[in-house]
Amino acid sequence: MSRVAYFRVSTEAQSIEAQRQALGDGFDREFSDEGVSGATLAADRPGFGKLLDYIREGDTLYVYALDRLGRDALDVQATVRRLLERGVTLDVKGLGPIGRGVGELIVAVLAQMADMERHRIKERCESGRVAARASIAATGLTHRGKASLGRPWAADAKEVADWRKANGATISQTMAHFGISKATVSRYCAA
């Protein structure tokens, strides 16, 4: 009977360390997917696929939250059902061990609520974009006073490219002069 942990974060910029600390130590094996969206079916994720090959009847799988298993309610429910049918206990932080019957019902309700909230977030984001576009068309600024919908520029691209060329500067020197990243210098000076 193994104690198995699974961690997932959606982007490479995120870390699984917060989940690891929240669940604590003492696992026989850990599996993770870093930089893998929860929209990717659980069985299609490399780390979770390895977990499915490893985990056996009598094992307990620990996850920080149900949304670490996925964002799609049907996929989460199917994944939980698959684990339970194999005789694996699923232990979700804050919920505790989930078993057949009532446990599956709780997972179904929580997964559906998470899926519904994900759709509501998308709707709110899109309505914010619509308001921002209308405001830009009318005033030149978004409804929040920004000049564009995207992220603000780290620096003026033309100024960075002109300074680098005029000074014969390296990428590192340009990064230091403007306080911007290597990727930003490369992007601004590519043309």
Which residues are known catalytic residues?
Answer: 10
Residue 67: closest CA among 100, 95, 86, 89: 95
Phi, psi of 76 (to 5 degrees): -60, -45
CA separation for the pair 151, 167 (Å, rounded): 28
d(CA 67, CA 77): 11
Alpha-carbon span 169 to 24, nearest angstrom: 48
For residues 45 and 145, give the distance between their C-alpha atoms in angstroms, rounded to a whole number: 40
Give the span between the Cα atoms of 4 and 92, in whole angstroms.
Answer: 12
The Cα-based distances of 61 to 8, 64, 93, 155, 184 in angstroms read: 14, 10, 11, 47, 41
Is 85 exposed, middle or buried (CB count within 10 Å of its CB: 0-12, 13-18, 19+)? exposed
Number of neighbouring beta carbons within 10 Å of residue 144? 9
